[in-house]
């Protein structure tokens, strides 16, 4: 397994095709914004798309972004577009990407990271704590989780 940055490798087209195989609506939206070149417009210019790979196969992906679906000037950065392909689920592989993001946040002296989700009980096992419900840019309500970086 290897963690790579989508924009810092020379196989973007391959990984774009792998993201396009996602059976998740938000994964398809991510594929669309990557294809159109609007990723940074949506997430912020210092954002990253991290991929956990197994050879030529994509295991998991997520963003480490200035902005996410909750429009908030109060909270940043965000982990978003969190997805693990079905054949890799149940092994907590996403935790490897979260560890990478925590490392990046420490390097950048960022004290807290956030996740917006409708899941309950998923992110708590990675050390995130629920802080409140907030409205998304789509008009829905989302649960916001926080993790303090030590």
Superfamily of domain 2-148: Gcn5-related N-acetyltransferase (GNAT) (3.40.630.30)
User: For residue 147, what are its two tokens?
Assistant: 């993790």
SS3 96: helix
Q: Are 143 and 124 in contact (CB under 8 A)?
A: no
- Which three-class secondary structure string do you get for 6-67? HHHCCCHHHHHHHHHCCCCHHHHHHHHHHHHCCHHHHHCCCCEEEEEEECCEEEEEEEEECC
Task: To the nearest 10°, report the CA torsion of 81, 86, 90, 94.
Answer: -30
Closest by CA to 112, choosing from 125, 102, 120, 98, is 102
- The 10s digit of each residue's pLDDT in 90-105 is 999 999 999 999 999 9
Asked if residue 144 lies in contact with residue 134, where contact means CB atoms within 8 angstroms, the answer is yes
- pTM flag (> 0.75): yes
C-alpha 88, offset from chain centre: 17
Q: Name the average pLDDT for the chain.
A: 96
Residue 73 has pLDDT above 90, yes or no: no
Domain boundaries, the chain: 2-148
**Alpha carbon 36 to chain centroid distance?**
19
- Average of per-residue pLDDT across 120-125: 92
Residue 107: what pLDDT?
96
């Amino acid at each position: 397994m290897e963690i790579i940055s989508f924009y810092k490798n020379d196989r973007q087209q391959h990984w774009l095709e792998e993201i396009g195989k996602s059976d998740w609506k938000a994964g398809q939206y991510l594929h669309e914004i990557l294809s159109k070149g609007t990723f940074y417009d949506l997430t912020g210019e210092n954002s990253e798309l991290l991929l956990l790979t197994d050879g030529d196969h994509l295991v998991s992906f997520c963003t480490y972004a200035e902005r996410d679906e909750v429009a908030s000037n109060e909270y940043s950065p965000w982990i978003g577009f969190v997805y693990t392909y079905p054949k890799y689920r149940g092994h907590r592989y996403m935790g490897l990407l979260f560890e990478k993001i925590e490392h990046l946040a420490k390097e950048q002296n960022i004290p807290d990271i956030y996740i917006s989700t409708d899941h309950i009980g998923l992110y708590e096992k990675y050390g995130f704590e629920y802080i409140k419900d907030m409205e998304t840019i789509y008009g829905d309500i989302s649960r916001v989780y926080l993790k303090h970086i030590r």
